[in-house]
Structure 1
């Protein structure tokens, strides 16, 4: 949690106070070679520590990346007497106490190619000849110990290079602030720009801006309209004002023929999207809803552990509950149909049923989180499943008057004056509303027992059915195939893919149909075989069988169904 300076800070000694409270000023500019972008230039201006020794450093880590300074080049300090580079992304600056210092350096790209679905590490800066995209954690160093000190920012532009960032919400040399900001806010920022940047201003009074670079399966105008719809729905849910400054950015990733990828990360008063250029607009609804919900969860619902080893044990709440509400709020508002709602849940339920780590204990899952994709998904899956179950328990115990929304709103009010973990606060708020989650935590989150949804989890509008079905298998080694440049590797002669004609050495051009983790729908691959292109179609079934739950929509009118599916309590407006 980012802590604001308290009134007690004013009682610091007069020697320390001016240095500690005087704003740190950041500037960012594109570095060009002819017409092409080659890097980003940063300047950081601040006062030296009263001791005469200032520790200029980078954040300890973010999004799995521990060496956030590694793309920094040519660091220089104006106003210093001695600058020594230390381990771990630290520079020790010696100067006259309180002297004006300006640190300047370049940040280069982490990639020498357009990012692909294999390159979705959001911590790594992207600088391509025509565009750039980077998170503040990797861009901005800072004088150590001053994360809560005010920060200002200016973009030093170049003709033809567009720019957008939530840093523009802070004050600049000649720009008034839309909100107060600190060094911590600069670290939690996103920047995007380039020759093809398209931006949409907050013309509707919402404070929302949208900025996109590159081309997608949808137009920038469609993304802009959808983002504003989703944001309005979630602001209404939290009963907050509609005028807060907020930025949505989208950067492209080059897709893989066999998989489609999209992702995002919340950045305080922004969220940043990486989107496969084949992703349809319909798939963006869930992603937008998920990422914007992070504006509250867990940022305003309590703190999270700073230690990356212990933090994953709390993701069932921050990520899993966010998944649950992404679906619930979209169907409640009519942005997705009941059938779409069921399809989204069924995709997740199939992935959970086939997860190779489904029965990991809590400590095992947390330990594996950063190294195992399936373990990462497990936190999302478990949290969403428990949110649905607990919502139903609250409704039943209260006669339909109290639901999960009730607990979340109570938690939001309490968290404003509490420094407790969001998971601890939820536990307390749920208890006050009559829900004791201790037994479920012990069984499912700590013990790793598989979670099964009760048949009436989503009320009278849907039924949860459990079936036995074949496990999902593409019929070949997907990782080895991707590593070989999508040349098919490791085809299993016992499986349907082989029977349909798939062989090692064929080149996959694209996936034409099918769903990951769904063995019941056909899988289609367009392949090149000795110069001839053809489609191979088969059921992606493995040798084992798994128990898979599925949401079946019953025949109810659409309005009532949307309210019931989203778990609304009596008296809650749709």
Structure 2
């Protein structure tokens, strides 16, 4: 009996030891090395280490579609797999690797760039790799080969020791906390600047209208506010990559969310206030819609985009990152654009179908969702509650019922807080009836009023040729632009001010006639007729006490 007990204890101890020292989970590792031509960077050499599938046939997924562009695999060359018996094409974007089952394999390939100069505004974002002689900016979907069927296998990225000592490097996958390499962003350069603020790293190239440290501090505040809003861990590392774009016409902010990261390219004429709100919107997408309901594509963008816009402004005001004046100005731009939109009465089904092809339908999703969020929040605040409580309930509901669509999750979460939203959705989203804010929608921060202004009329049509040169076409002689001295055929070197359909903001154009010198023209882009829309007016109380625009919820709101 004593021997039996001893044997049982030994077995238990062995089992406990096995649990205490589990077998290391398989990891797919990516090593990024430089391909140099003398001192200059010519390409990236990427090495991927992984184990073959259990049946000995492993399928590789090459980069293909990235931000609307197809055929990213064309930028890959010299693909080899060490340890394989063979590798054959399975269509242009896939490879079949045959080997002994479970064998350790090493994939190597060269990644070439499509841009080897400083990027301009028309380049927008590295949907395909940007690799120049002294820097690179690479988005995962356009660069990283994935092993099919490994959705649950951790991925890590490491930098090879061959990088020159004066190259600074950053990636969001250095910690190995992800399972999809295409969620990576890679940036490096001899002039790359890396700034830290708490858990945030900012990796930036080029010049902007603000200091790196100021942007990093703002980003850390945004991250802390939004993680706090959703109850996420505050110390998880987060990377923001930023590349400046040479200004050509107006301003541009391009970017995309990654795993614990955001990658962007921006013209330097955007102010820190403008960039703050744009980043607050984009980073909020870390949780909306993924934590609030099952996405449904364009039919649900009024929620995922509109509510994100609403909370980007609210949380920035709440954290003191924008002034009450800037908060009101941002809302007034939304209200003006919505009130004068030719698509204001477009039914929801049509708007969703045209989201990717009609800019007015695209913006309608942002506008309608933000305005409805403001109306519903005002109703809840009048009863001592807040829209924040609806989102809290929606997150809890999504955890219990992950297959519930985002609209249905909103309906149920709102009802749990005593708010009925179905009729508003049917009227303003489905049927397209125009939305009007009540006069007290933003009290005590601002009042809502109606304004009448001249219609926006540029007076000409900008024409862009195959080389990207913009010229003046169809100029009307009765226009303010003509009276200011603009003529057909003039080259538009730069638009410094104006645009966006705002008739109250002067247009300022730098133009050149033929081979002549450049000159600057200013005019108000106003037509002969008028238009009417809603605007916010900051209250004197909020001007003196900015916290009135924070709309902080009550700690313990009463039931409705």
The interval holding the TM-score normalised by the smaller chain is 0.7 to 0.9
- Which residue matches 2:178? 181
- Please name the residue that 1:493 is paired with: 477
The corresponding residue for 2:113 is: 109
One of 427, 430, 435 as aligned partner of 1:451: 435
Contact residue 506 and residue 524 of structure 2 kept, 8 A: yes
SS of the residue corresponding to residue 473 of structure 2 reads coil
Contact persistence 2:28–2:49 (CA under 8 A): yes
2:14 is matched with: none
1:264–1:287 CA contact under 8 A, matched in 2:
no
Q: Which residue of 2 aligns with 1:517?
A: 501
Equivalent in the alignment of 1:290: 281
Deviations along 1:459-496, one digit per CA (max 9) or x if unpaired, are 23312222333332332223537965133233233422
Structure 2 partner of 1:169: 175
Which of 120, 125, 128 lines up with 2:124 in the alignment?
120
TM-score, normalized by length of structure 2?
A: 0.88
Find the counterpart in structure 1 of residue 224 from structure 2: 232
1:130-529 equivalent positions in 2, closer than 5 A: 130-157=134-161, 158-159=163-164, 160-170=166-176, 180-182=177-179, 184=180, 186-201=181-196, 206-256=198-248, 258-305=249-296, 311-396=297-382, 399-400=383-384, 402-420=385-403, 421-480=405-464, 485-529=469-513
Deviation at 1:215, TM superposition (A): 1.6
Q: How does 1:5-84 map to 2 (within 5 A)?
A: 22-58=26-62, 61-84=65-88
Q: Any conservation in 2 of the 1:495–1:543 contact (CA below 8 Å)? A: no
Q: State the alpha-carbon separation in 1 of the partners of residues 272 and 138 from structure 2.
A: 24
* Alpha-carbon offset, residue 339 of structure 1: 1.0
Structure 2 matches for 1:533-552, cutoff 5 A? 533-542=518-527, 545-552=530-537
Deviation of 1:525 (Å): 1.5
Q: Deviations over 1:385-404 (max 9, x none)?
A: 221122112223xx22x211
Residues 155, 173 of structure 2: 8 Å contact kept: no
Deviation at 1:432, TM superposition (A): 1.0
Change (3 A) 1:94 1:286: same
Alpha-carbon contact 2:512-2:518 (below 8 Å) kept: yes
- 422 and 34 in structure 1: CA distance in 2 versus 1, 3 angstrom threshold: farther
C-alpha deviation, 1:552, in angstroms: 1.1
How far apart are residue 344 of structure 1 and its match? 0.8
Q: Gaps spanning 5+ residues in structure 2: where? A: 1-21
Query: 1:553 and 2:538 equivalent?
Result: yes
Gaps of 5+ in 1: 1-17, 171-179, 306-310
| Cα deviation, residue 340, structure 1 | 0.7
Please say which of residues 212-221 and 463-472 is displaced more in the overlay.
Answer: 463-472
Q: TM (normalized to structure 1)?
A: 0.86
Native 8 Å contact 1:64 1:370 kept in 2: no
Give the RMSD, CA atoms, in angstroms.
Answer: 2.7
Query: How far apart, in 1, do the equivalents of 2:73 and 2:64 lie?
Result: 10
Work out which of the two has the higher radius of gyration on C-alpha atoms and give 1 or 2.
2
Structure 2 CA distance for aligned equivalents of residues 363 and 557 of structure 1:
39
Contact 1:363-1:446 at 8 Å conserved across structures? yes
- The match for 1:14 is none
Whether the 8 Å contact between 2:323 and 2:546 is mirrored in structure 1 is no
| Residues 263-286 of structure 1 deviation map (CA, whole Å, 9 limit, x = unaligned) | 322213111121102222222221
Given that 1:246 and 1:269 are in contact with CA atoms closer than 8 Å, whether structure 2 keeps it comes out as: yes
Asked if 1 retains the 8 angstrom alpha-carbon contact of 2:481 and 2:525, the reply is: yes
Q: Give SS of 1:46's match.
A: strand
1: CA distance, partners of 2:504 / 2:556: 38
Check whether the contact 2:205–2:243 (CA below 8 A) recurs between aligned residues. yes
* Closer/same/farther in 2, CA of residues 116 and 442 from structure 1, 3 Å limit: farther
